[in-house]
Each structure stands twice: as structure tokens, then as C-alpha cells.
Amino acid sequence: MSMSAQVLVSDAKQDGLQFVTELAREAAQHRAANHPYLEALAAGDVPDPAGALADLARQYYVYSADFVRYLSATIGQLEYLPHRAALVRNLTEESGVLSEHELEEVKAAGVDPAWVQGVPHPVLFRRFLDALGMTEAWLSDNPPCDDAVIWSRTFHQCCTAGGPAQAVGALGLGTELIVPQIYRPILRAIIEHLDVSPRERVFFDLHTTVDDAHGEVLLEIAADLAMQAEHRAPLRLGMQMALHLRSAFFDAMHRRALAMPMREVK
């Protein structure tokens, strides 16, 4: 490659990076990432904070249990092998395999590695539901609300039906990049209002630390894709779709929480 061609490539890379950095800023400021429902939960500003958190756990599980399907769908859309390989590493982590570096990170966050190493993330979420008394039988007696099912199904379609840039926009910029910001107030509310141990709620501690790295990987893939002008609109559309869906889900959860009877103070 000639000197001037190299300069052109790095200019294009720089442009791609700048484009996704602006999108990331837009995502962090979106209602989905700063939702009044999350603020209300963290402040205990709903009639029954523990009841609202239990409802959130049951409904969020519908979306969360299928996370590997969204990630696999996104991997399937990608054409460039190193991009796929990078996301396969995220997939490995979702199945509970943590690298040395990540183990150090979780330890620093106060998590005992034995609680998480080798445990797939959907199983960690089930551990949390178990702690709240939500057994398999309870779950089948208490089916999810339409809002949770619609969110999960539509989000899966975002990752399958719109090409690689839309999928990366949805899963990366519109999801992984903002989830630590979303899980932080939820974790605060859990610690404040639920009687669960750190081991039982570890799904949330884990996702306020390790998914920061997941977001980074997707941000780099997004920046590569954004080097080509035709990928920019679908990157932003995928991001907006994911944020819009999540925001609509939180709106519904907020309405459900506000409609609950006041918890009696014992």
C-alpha cells in the first residue's frame, strides 16, 4: 500500500470512529438510558419497591433469557471474519467463561469468582429469580406481560432482519454500550429493597462491570462498519430501534409499578 493510500485508510477509520462516538453520546442521553422508572426504583419512589423489582425481574427475564439468540443472530449477519471472532468471545463470556483480566475486574467489584465462573448468564438470572421464590412452576403460573414478549421478539428481529450495520447498532450502540448505566440504578434498588445475598444478585454486579468490555468490542466493530457511508444510516436506525423498544418497555414497567397497592410497613 502506498503512503497516501495508508493515510486515506486511517482518515476513513478516524471518520468512522467519530461517527460512532457521536452515536454513543446520543445513546447515553436517550430516555432509555436515563428512564424516570429507573430513577424511581433507585429512589424507592413507587408504592411497593420490592414488588416493582420482583415484577421487573420476572418481565426482564423474557428478554434476558434470549440474549444469546440476539448475539448469535448478530454474529450471523457479520461478513468480516475478525468481527465475528470478536463477538464469539462475547458469546463465550455469556456462557460463563471469564478471562484472567475479567476475573480481576469482577474481584475488584467485590464478586467472588466462584459465584460466576463457568455459570451461563441466563443461569445467573435464574439464581436471582429463585431467590425471589420464582420457581419453574411459579413462572409458568405467572406468564410474562405482552410488553416483555413484544420487546424480546422485536429486538430479535432488529438483529436478524436488517443487515449487519442495523444488528450492530441495535446490540452494540443501543444495548451493550448503555446497559452498565441501566443496571447501576437497578442494582442500587435491589440492595436497598430486596432481601437477597450478593451471590444471588450477582448477575447485576457482573453486568455493571464486564459488559463495559462487551460494549467496547461492539463499538470498534461499529466504527469499522461506519467507514462505509452506506452503513451509517442502518447503524443509527438499529441503535434507535433498540433504545426505543427498551424505553417503551420501561414505560410499561413504570405504569405497572405505579398501579401496585402500597406496601404495608411492618
Binding residues for Fe ion (CB under 5 A) = 94, 121
Shortest distance, CB of residue 121 to Fe ion, whole angstroms?
4
Complex with Fe ion: residue 55 or 94, whichever CB lies closer? 94
By Cβ distance, which residue is nearest to Fe ion?
Answer: 121
Interatomic CA distance for residues 201 and 114, integer angstroms: 14
Sequence-separated contacts (24+) of 154-160 with Cβ below 8 Å = 154/241, 154/245, 155/63, 155/70, 155/241, 155/242, 155/245, 156/66, 156/69, 156/70, 156/73, 158/238, 158/241, 158/242, 158/245, 159/70, 159/71, 159/73, 159/74, 159/77, 160/73, 160/76, 160/77
Q: Is 161 exposed, middle or buried (0-12, 13-18, 19+ CB in 10 A)?
A: exposed
Strand ranges (DSSP E) for 61-156? none
Shortest distance, CB of residue 214 to Fe ion, whole angstroms?
8
Complex with Fe ion: residue 94 or 147, whichever CB lies closer? 94
Shortest distance, CB of residue 209 to Fe ion, whole angstroms?
11
Q: Is 48 in contact with 262 (CB distance < 8 Å)?
A: yes
Shortest distance, CB of residue 63 to Fe ion, whole angstroms?
12
Complex with Fe ion: residue 94 or 200, whichever CB lies closer? 94
Complex with Fe ion: residue 40 or 219, whichever CB lies closer? 219
Grid coordinates representing 7?
493515510
Interatomic CA distance for residues 228 and 138, integer angstroms: 49
Shortest distance, CB of residue 196 to Fe ion, whole angstroms?
18
Complex with Fe ion: residue 19 or 204, whichever CB lies closer? 204
Strand ranges (DSSP E) for the chain? none
Complex with Fe ion: residue 48 or 94, whichever CB lies closer? 94
Shortest distance, CB of residue 90 to Fe ion, whole angstroms?
8
